[in-house]
Amino acid sequence: MAELDWQYRWDDGQNTDIPSDTLKDEGWQSIEFPANPPERNGQTQVWFRTVLPAVTMSEPVIYVTSIDINVEAFVGDKLIYRFGEFDDEGNGTFLGWPWHDMPLPNDFAGRPLYLKVYSDYTQIGLWGETKIQDRADMLLDVITSGLHELIVAAFSLLIAFIALVFAVFRGTQREFFYLGLFSLATAGTLIGENLAMQLLISWPLLKTYLAAISYFAMPIFIAMLLYYWVDDAKGGRLLKAVAILHQVYLIAVVLLSATGMINLATAYPLFDFLFVISLLLMLTVTLRVSRQMNIVRQLVIGAFGLYAIILLADMLIAHGLIPWVNFPMAYGGLLFSLVLVVVSIRNYIQTHTELEALNQTLEQRVVQRTTQLNDYVKAEKDRRISLERQNLFASKLERFNTKLQSCNCLAEASDLFRDKLAHVFSPAIVEVSMDGQEMDDLPDGQLRLQELKGSNHVFASLRLERAAPMLPKQDAEEMIRRASQRLSVTLGNIKLREDLQRYSFEDSLTGLRNRRFFDDALGRDIQLAEREQSALSLLICDIDHFKRFNDKYGHEAGDVALQSVAAKLKQQFRQSDVPCRLGGEEFVVLMREANLDDARAKAETLLQAIATNHIDYHNEKLGPLTVSAGVASWRGDEPDAEALLRKADKALYKAKQTGRNCVVVFEEDKPFDAAL
């Protein structure tokens, strides 16, 4: 229909609803094609007219690729087609950019065709291809002309899916994420602008929104891709700013158009201007760093550059800057998708290689971890057995230590060591040596007792003879060390108790029992003699002229003299007799089961032994000492123990008066009987 004679007439402010006689005759001017008449000056309403040619068709229609933006078609005065709504002032709203098929009446030949067009867009009128066709031929042309675009769109969707899958599973590969989104935007643009999709989607505005959102999103994804590749110092921040600007623009356009504040069509001119500026900025930044990129990135940038040229050409056609041709924009999307295929295949091969290497590494790690786990299980099993063995040993050691704590003396503890200690270390075989035996063998454990004077001696020695099959030698030795440390403390406590008891009842100079021990023993022995009706005698002796001896030889010699007398007391009396030092130079002997005659005889033997004994002092023999003794026996009628002691003391006093170095026996039936 471009070859027909067309005329136009601006209609702003007149709002002519149908072609009236006035409209037919006034203000018409010739135009080559019914689009963008001159002298628009912001006007939005225009009429176009021509005379329809005579053609023969079964179902004739006028096919128009697109119209900016609303239209009413008349044949004569009869309305044959309308797209969009017109208000009382002749204005309309944007409802999309569909293709149009205007049905013609059978008698259309030679009749005038009137087109009333409203547009607040930069373009007004018909756009693209315009022709009279049979409806069947028109539908076939629509389907065939858009088929290749649908194929490319489907291919782009597949590539987008593959790229996004790569992005998800590779994690760090953000470039595949942006490439996938760009390919998705390409597919959306092709689908939204595809003519054949109108046969499936009956809402033109929905198709237009899909195409617009996809088209407006393209610079966002390509700018973010380049930002991911380019360092901030080399223009990365500028690319990010471009992406943010287009993102804001996309959101604003969608919100404003959805709320009816603007027509979506009016957003295209400003976007195209921004898109051109953005392409120049991205091209400038990319050229500066392209040589530093790998071949894959250079290939992607080259494909996008060719695609950008196609988009620019389509932009020029859309704005009427160059004549309309059916420009194959789908081929730009196809080229870009093919590049993505190459990139994806290369990445797949790289990923597969990495996965194989990772699989081998994982297998090695699995073997290593399995070995480590087995070692750990074995170590845990050994540790459990060791802990059970240690707990059993600790339990047996504690039971033995409890028995040891109940011992009253070291002799009793020694018997317990010989009988029971070796069983504590079972199943290991440990030899227990007592009283310092085998000290030259350097035993693994020694239990030493500390003397009050500072020296120490080995109470017992522990030596490992043989460890058990499930008991390592080092563990058995550790058990011996633990036992030695634990039992040494308990033995020390026993010895301390024993020493305290001994030193509380023992004279430190002579080694004899002291006065405290004598007082307790005398009371117990009198009760025992009274209960068993046994004899009990008491001897008290005193060194004659001891003060004179001390003055002559000194106190140190006097101590030696006291020790000498004490030694004779230990020698002359039985094991059952108890010699004690009462204090100073006075001694007493408690003789159990000894009558008065036995006591006298023992006393006389003692005096003779002392009198014949010389005292060695600093390699010098000092003259012999003499002692006086008093003897008394328990008769059963004494009121208390002190009574028996007083009797013996009286006899001693009598011996001193009689002339010393003699024995006096206390008898009830006569005053005193002395024996010299």
Query: Has residue 335 got a pLDDT over 80?
Result: no
d(CA 651, CA 673): 9
Instruction: Check if the beta carbon of residue 223 is closer than 8 Å to that of residue 177.
Output: no
Query: What's residue 635's pLDDT?
Result: 86
Question: CB neighbours of 123 closer than 8 A, spacing ≥ 6?
Answer: 35, 36, 68, 318, 319, 320
Q: How many helices (H) and strands (E) does the chain have?
A: 15, 20
pLDDT at residue 673 greater than cutoff 50: no
**Is there a common fold for 6-123 and 142-352?**
no
Residues paired with 127 in a beta bridge: 66
Residue 612 tokens read as 């014949």
Two structure tokens written together for 310: 């196609």
Give the number of other CB atoms < 10 A from CB of residue 323.
8
498 carries an active-site annotation: no
pLDDT at 436 over 60: no
The structural domains of the chain, with segments of one domain joined by +, span: 6-123, 142-352, 406-504, 515-675
* Structure tokens given for 611: 């009198």
CATH top-level class of 142-352: mainly alpha
C-beta separation of 576 from 589 below 8 A: no
Say what the pLDDT of residue 674 is.
Answer: 41
Q: Are 156 and 337 in contact (CB under 8 A)?
A: yes
Indicate the class that CATH gives domain 515-675: alpha beta
What pLDDT, on a 0 to 100 scale, did the predictor assign at position 93?
Answer: 82
**Residue found by looking up tokens 């070692």 in the block:** 375
Q: Which of 32, 585, 593, 620 is catalytic?
A: 585
pLDDT of residue 570 exceeding 80: yes
Q: Report residue 330's pLDDT band, with 50, 70 and 90 as the boundaries.
A: low
Pairing assessment for the beta strands 663-665 and 627-633 based on DSSP bridges = parallel
Residue 501, pLDDT > 60, answer: yes
Cβ(380)–Cβ(429) under 8 Å?
no
The confidence score (pLDDT) of residue 449 equals 67
Q: Taking a C-beta distance cutoff of 8 angstroms, is the pair 131, 55 a contact?
A: no
Sorting pLDDT into bands at 50, 70 and 90, what band is 442?
very low
| Fold designation for 6-123 | Jelly Rolls (2.60.120)
CB 112 within 8 A of CB 53: no
CA 404-410-415 angle, 5° bins: 65
Query: Quick one: pLDDT band at residue 675, thresholds 50, 70, 90?
Result: very low
What is the Cα–Cα distance from 8 to 18, expressed in whole angstroms?
A: 15
Looking at residue 443, what DSSP letter applies?
-
pTM over 0.75: no
| Cα angle: 606, vertex 611, 617; to 5 degrees | 115
Length of the chain counted residue by residue: 676
pLDDT, tens digit, for every residue of 118-146?
988 888 999 888 899 899 988 898 888 77
SS (H, E, C) 9-46: EECCCCCCCCCCHHHHHCCCEEECCCECCCCCCCCCEE
What is the spatial distance between Cα 290 and Cα 287, in angstroms, rounded to a whole number? 5
